[in-house]
Structure 1
Amino acid sequence: MDENDEDDFGFSSGDEAALLATSEALEKGTKRKNTSFEDLSRSKKPATNANPVSDYLPLASAALTKTFGFKGFQLKQEQVVTRILGGESAVVVFPTGGGKSLCFQIPALVFADVDAQQNIRGPGEHGITLVVSPLIALMKDQVDALKRRGVAAATLDSTKTREEYLDTCDKLRQGHLKILYCAPERLNNEGFVEQMKFVRGGIRLLAVDEAHCISEWGHAFRPDYLKISRFVDEINAERVVCLTATATPRVAKDICDAFGIEITGLFRTSTYRPNLHLLAESAPTKQKLYPKLFQFLRANPGATIVYVTLQKETEALASELRTQGFKARAFHAGMQADVKQRLQDEFMACEDLIIVATIAFGMGIDKAMIRNVVHFNIPSSLESYSQEIGRAGRDGQISRCMFYVCSEDLHLRELFARGDLASKESVRGLLNEIFDDETTRFPVGGQYKANHALQTKEFDIRATTLKNIYAQLELRHGLLREITPIYTKYTYTAGASFSATLAHDTSPAARAIGKYGKRATKWYNIDVDFASKGVGIPRNDVIKKLNQWNEEGGIELKPSGVVSVYRILKPLPKTSSEIGKLVDDIFTLMQEREAQAMQRTDEVLELITGSDCFARKMAQHFGDDLPGGIKECRHCTWCLTHKPVAVEPAPPMSFNKVAFNSILERVPDRDDARFLARIAFGISSPRVTAMKLGRDPLFGSMGDHEFTVCPSFSQGISEM
């Protein structure tokens, strides 16, 4: 349900052709490898232990002061940096705003100095620190900040043009970069993996940001994160540092296990921040919370973030606040990038602006004087709550974190927790398509291509859930391995010299383009697969020729239509029994994850409705406690009142038989009871969108019921 701006493919418009050129360079680079940096950085334990580790600390401290302006390390930063410079890996669990980034940025700056001190590398052979981060906006912000400080940093993401991509590749070959950011999805790109194997000087450090995404039982699991440990081995990265602000003991152990890091390499600091006052209030209805919010904001002026769940609510609440005289703006992921950037800039510059936002706001916002963080809806987990309130009070001054709750929120909580689970029928349909007669005839090593966009619509499975299913087939069952995605559609406009180019270029690729490129008004369309087969040449030859002409200015090329590609690792299941076992296994795991999501929202409610100090309960959730063994923080709502926050239950509702029957009559499909329940409960899905039911009065007409209406629809279907 996250509204973050994710890099879905880690794949930009120029990559496919650029990687072809990279592959050719790699063939030449392989010869260089034996003479240039064969012994520089190809082992997990680099030769950095010749001197005592303490010899490196003056170098690290100097970089900290000169580049970042800090007089000294804080928390356990020095211990982490020392361990990394000593050649070992680490897991860092620091609170939001705790300086995690310096734990990889300082080593990245110091590696060259350490090498010079040991006299083991030449100029440009310092290698790079590769940072895997899930958010394009956050990568961009960090790279821009590093460049302003004179640090050679870059990012590879789907917003880059082909020219920008090639420029970054050139800097890597020349040894001009120290830090490179990329999205985890890019690790599926075979060309990128090969490219990282031959980076000049090697990968000195791989930093995994938001590392809690590795854990299947974490609050923000992303399957591509599970593949990072395999990537580390493939590129022979010297060491790894995993960083997160929100790891329970179980999640921290998952991270350590994934990278084979001993418990001595886990560095955790207290999650408790005494300047954050955790407060909570309830009301019977959302409408009755409005006066409480207005009163709180008047009593506590200053820069404020108000978090809500739905995009439309950001606009409505911001408008309401403005009518009350507050300076308020709405922010959500559906806005244009330039609008979002202006809002972020305005927030950074103002001391009294209130931003009403979805969770799309906040990542990368390094504003020290945020006085209040308000949750106007229930957060999805204690991890999310901790991360969001952690944006307040980074200047050390008292800041207040208000949590408002009412029974109306309980419906919204269930809607988001249950939104990702597809029906078992949908999973079965998907697997039957993947392992159809054609695919199962492919040999081991062959390639299976999947259009995820079409599959989400056809089988009513959300995109994130679909990726999780494919990840299970890859990581849990070892059937497929995701490799470089490809484009299915190429369009181009022809320049004035294009006809002459076609006439003089006698290569098979040029002949294929001339024969199979079809003009439609201004643009030409070409089916690359069809064209390459038509003249009997590799697909890549046609793509290379198109890009050559694009670079020369003869055409303007626009590829589109990404298709995911998987290599077959072992014989695929063929019988209905074999596929049925896979369906059972995958669906069971999906059900367990849905139960976990519901449990996480229960934990959030228990935080404020229980009889315990909020701060202590939060600390214990993360395997911590209050300092000095104290039992109470003395400034949360429990400590101030010693009364739990009571959430008044919604009045009992009789079963809405009219709405139930209307949904059965309105929707002719009888193949999926859970689909009907989604409509009743107001949970969107690809199928709901395709059938244009999202604005139908029936959509959400039973939203005040429990989701257990699902069995009722099963019974309703069987009786018809």
Structure 2
Amino acid sequence: MDPENDEFGLDSDDDAELLALADDIDDADLIALADAIGPHGTKRKSAEDNGPPPKRPTLDFPCAEAALTQTFGFKDFQLKQKQVISRILGGDGATVVFPTGGGKSLCYQIPALVFSDVDEGSRGQGESGITLVVSPLIALMKDQVDALVRRGVKAATFDSSKSREEYLHTCEMLRNGELKILYCAPERLNNEGFVEQMKYVRGGIRLLAVDEAHCISEWGHSFRPDYLKIARFAREINAERVICLTATATPRVARDICKAFDIDETEGLFRTSTYRPNLQLLAESGKTKQELYPSLFNFLKNNKGATIVYVTLQKQTEELAAELRRKGFKARSFHAGMETGTKTQLQDEFMREEELVIVATIAFGMGIDKSSIRNVVHFNIPSSLESYSQEIGRAGRDGKLSKCVFYVCGEDLHLREMFARGDLPSRESLRSLLQDIFHSTNVSLPVGGEIRTNHYDQARDFDIRLTTLKNTYAQLELTHNLIRATTPVYTKYTYKVSSRYDSVLEADKSPAAAAIKKYGKKAKTWYNIDVDSLMISKLPRTDIIRKLNDLDEGGVIELKTGGVQNVYKITQPLPRTGPAIEKYVDQIYELMEKREQEALNRTNQMLQLITDKACFSRALAQHFGDNLPHGKTECGRCTWCMTKTAIVQQVPPPVKFNFPAFKAVLEHIPDRDDARFLARIAFGIASPRGTKMKLSNHPIFGSMADHSFMGLLRAFTRECTKNPE
């Protein structure tokens, strides 16, 4: 989640609690993996050495059935798990589109165990390789690893929450060939050391599993640029097989996934029905949320059981939960801004209780494997049909009747437009960013040279949200092939010393120890060392960092790092002239505008689901290329099927242009360099520049929220293009 969203209590689709943050890993963090290759240091051949990986021989399926029953405790495979696993064991790739709770994880976990049981005998002990799982969900990775370890499966994660001891233990298991399944975030693929070590990991990468694979598609509802790099990564590490998994892929998105990984769409795409006959889809419209409160209270009174009520803003979770408690309901609030311990306690309570109502943002639900959730309520409009489908899919996994209610009013439209409009910067902001990237200092560097920058600083300086800024760099890397992201580095190394510091460094005759002793400068308590200045002495930077980490691990020093810099290698000459840069501005901005329109279209699709004169369940199924079973045209139990009356979206009446508020914005912000920034502030959309100017609590922020955003943009554009007197 962007820092500016956090300030205003918006749990966006890139929620910080659920999505793995970019692994700001120093270039030496993976040095401990150096020996985790073949036995005695022998290298496994890379894709460049071998060419395309050979098709693997079919492995024995009875071993998969044994793993299902003995390790996971299931009697039979469900949905199309057996077909998927058979294809993976046969050496081919697959794309799996199963609904939430459909058992997607078994499709890679069971093959991982088969590789271990079958291949260790033929390959030798410790040579059965690993299954590498790329997932953006830290919470889900942890839950799955904990569950696997409890079942006796050697599994681990590489993520930013790991302690150094945990990290080194994982490295040891890799080195010994003990680890079977390793989870990591997509951002880790930017780490050169990680990519190199995965090329030569002991036994090889038998299977690369890509979770939440819809993030690969630029037209999916949760596009993440780092996901576009996974296909390149799969080739570079010579992964034997690839399996892509998602619960929410339209036919267009599924085609994108198959194309990215060269998976045969005819034979390798496995899709099961999204229709859940035990889910009753209901909807109701009102003028305001306050007007809809009595209906919500009445629904919860008449429909007992564990319930999730989804809202958009963090403060809404607390306000609505308090109101529910006043009405006698057992209700709690949950959002990403809470302390980790509090959130864990709430999740545990929800798992135990059968009458608890959790009022939550989208931060709640991932990894909640409770089969008896009776109701899912959307008190604000979801961001997309994909999000809606995923969230209602958490209800009724026990097969019993569960109700999914969607309350909609005009206030929702403003919130959704805030999200949709917030990511598009002005063209001027994008131009300034590209001019900074293609600064004369950078364009003078040769191919292979390194550009270093700080994404947070650039986001603030050029008023571009962090996710949008990262997307821009991804376009320069993946579409235009100008740069390639590599390992982020720290610029600040500070440490406190123990009483053993001087004696240990005196006894250590290595060049790195001598350099630390010479260049470590003490302030009051902490020492500072500029690792980059040591390059002058021709001593490799990684040697210094390795030694600092060794001293830290040995208790000789207490090490702290900071000042992360994002690093990009230049892969071809950068544009040097204004017209050349403007070409990239035009191309990238056009794509940004298309994404904004796609976000607005997704909101319209969500509204169309309930306002059309058609069965909700069938319309939702058709969005995913599916239909109702047995040729049925109606489910018989949604709001449309029961009433044959379409929900009418009630919108606020048009308002007269608020000239006093418009004038107040112009008076408080004298700059006329960015009309979109002025429109954002008037509409109530946070941005890095607005955060820097501390406008969130100023009366002008959101003072024209009841206006059309595009109308505001036109009005402020006229002011910004006026000739000065």
The answer to whether the 8 Å contact 2:531/2:544 transfers is yes
Is 1:480 the equivalent of 2:469?
no
TM (norm. structure 2) is 0.95
| SS in structure 1 at match of 2:30 | helix
| 1:79 aligned residue | 83
Is 1:320 the equivalent of 2:335?
no
Partners of 1:66 and 1:10 in 2: CA distance: 36
| 1:10 aligned residue | 23
Tell me the CA shift for residue 509 of structure 1: 3.0
CA deviation string 1:225-249 (max 9, x = no partner):
0000001001101101100000000
Partners of 1:529 and 1:482 in 2: CA distance: 19
Change in 2 beyond 3 A, CA 1:140/1:24: closer
| 1:67 aligned residue | 71
The answer to whether the 8 Å contact 1:43/1:238 transfers is no
| 1:203 aligned residue | 205
The amino acid of 1:247's aligned partner reads: A
| 1:639 aligned residue | 641
Q: Which moved more, 1:493-502 or 1:466-475?
A: 493-502
Partners of 1:265 and 1:25 in 2: CA distance: 32
The answer to whether the 8 Å contact 1:29/1:198 transfers is no
Partners of 1:22 and 1:58 in 2: CA distance: 34
Partners of 1:544 and 1:674 in 2: CA distance: 47
Matches within 5 A, 1:562-601: 562-601=564-603
| 2:354 aligned residue | 351
Q: Which moved more, 1:481-490 or 1:499-508?
A: 499-508
The correspondence for 2:718, drawn from 712, 715, 719, is: 715
| 1:617 aligned residue | 619
Change in 2 beyond 3 A, CA 1:33/1:536: closer
The amino acid of 2:473's aligned partner reads: Y
Is 1:102 the equivalent of 2:111?
no
Tell me the CA shift for residue 514 of structure 1: 3.1
The answer to whether the 8 Å contact 2:611/2:646 transfers is yes
Change in 2 beyond 3 A, CA 1:718/1:229: same
Partners of 1:345 and 1:106 in 2: CA distance: 28
The amino acid of 1:10's aligned partner reads: D
| SS in structure 1 at match of 2:418 | helix
| SS in structure 2 at match of 1:242 | strand
The amino acid of 1:423's aligned partner reads: S
The correspondence for 2:271, drawn from 259, 268, 272, is: 268
The amino acid of 2:57's aligned partner reads: T
| SS in structure 2 at match of 1:493 | strand
Partners of 2:530 and 2:696 in 1: CA distance: 35
CA deviation string 1:281-336 (max 9, x = no partner):
01111100111110000110110111001111111111111111111111111111
Partners of 1:312 and 1:25 in 2: CA distance: 47
The correspondence for 1:495, drawn from 495, 498, 501, is: 498
The amino acid of 2:78's aligned partner reads: Q
CA deviation string 1:449-499 (max 9, x = no partner):
111010010001111111100000000000000011111111100111223
Tell me the CA shift for residue 27 of structure 1: 10
Is 1:364 the equivalent of 2:370?
no
Matches within 5 A, 1:513-662: 513-533=516-536, 535-662=537-664
Tell me the CA shift for residue 23 of structure 1: 3.9
| 2:686 aligned residue | 684
The answer to whether the 8 Å contact 2:321/2:359 transfers is yes
Tell me the CA shift for residue 31 of structure 1: 2.9
The answer to whether the 8 Å contact 2:491/2:563 transfers is yes
Partners of 1:27 and 1:292 in 2: CA distance: 64
CA deviation string 1:98-137 (max 9, x = no partner):
1111111111111133336xx6321221111111000111
| 1:394 aligned residue | 397
Tell me the CA shift for residue 536 of structure 1: 4.1
Matches within 5 A, 1:156-195: 156-195=158-197
The correspondence for 1:133, drawn from 119, 132, 135, is: 135
| 1:254 aligned residue | 256
Matches within 5 A, 1:212-361: 212-263=214-265, 264-361=267-364
The correspondence for 1:435, drawn from 414, 423, 438, is: 438
The answer to whether the 8 Å contact 2:98/2:247 transfers is yes
The answer to whether the 8 Å contact 2:132/2:182 transfers is yes
Is 1:45 the equivalent of 2:58?
no
Is 1:112 the equivalent of 2:116?
yes
CA deviation string 1:639-663 (max 9, x = no partner):
0101110112201100011111100
CA deviation string 1:136-195 (max 9, x = no partner):
111001101111111111000001122211110110111111111000000111111111
| SS in structure 1 at match of 2:640 | helix
Which runs of 5 or more structure 2 residues have no equivalent in the other structure?
1-11
| 2:42 aligned residue | 31
| 2:414 aligned residue | 411
The answer to whether the 8 Å contact 1:153/1:179 transfers is yes
CA deviation string 1:342-380 (max 9, x = no partner):
111111111111111110111111100000000000000
| 2:4 aligned residue | none
The correspondence for 1:672, drawn from 657, 671, 674, is: 674
TM (norm. structure 1) is 0.95
Tell me the CA shift for residue 505 of structure 1: 4.3
The answer to whether the 8 Å contact 2:38/2:203 transfers is no
The amino acid of 2:23's aligned partner reads: G
Partners of 1:125 and 1:508 in 2: CA distance: 36
Which runs of 5 or more structure 1 residues have no equivalent in the other structure?
none
CA deviation string 1:9-54 (max 9, x = no partner):
2245xx64342343476698553658xx99xx996334423xxx6x
The answer to whether the 8 Å contact 2:24/2:489 transfers is no
The answer to whether the 8 Å contact 1:309/1:377 transfers is yes
The amino acid of 2:575's aligned partner reads: P
Partners of 1:83 and 1:315 in 2: CA distance: 48
Matches within 5 A, 1:132-151: 132-151=134-153
Tell me the CA shift for residue 433 of structure 1: 0.5
Partners of 1:551 and 1:244 in 2: CA distance: 40
Tell me the CA shift for residue 521 of structure 1: 2.5
Tell me the CA shift for residue 253 of structure 1: 0.1
Partners of 2:254 and 2:717 in 1: CA distance: 41
Q: Which moved more, 1:399-408 or 1:196-205?
A: 196-205
| SS in structure 2 at match of 1:485 | strand
The amino acid of 2:33's aligned partner reads: T
| 2:3 aligned residue | none
The answer to whether the 8 Å contact 2:44/2:201 transfers is no
Partners of 2:706 and 2:649 in 1: CA distance: 16
| 2:31 aligned residue | 20
Partners of 1:448 and 1:398 in 2: CA distance: 57
Tell me the CA shift for residue 504 of structure 1: 4.4
Partners of 2:286 and 2:150 in 1: CA distance: 48
| 1:693 aligned residue | 695
Partners of 1:130 and 1:621 in 2: CA distance: 31
Tell me the CA shift for residue 558 of structure 1: 1.2
Tell me the CA shift for residue 502 of structure 1: 4.0
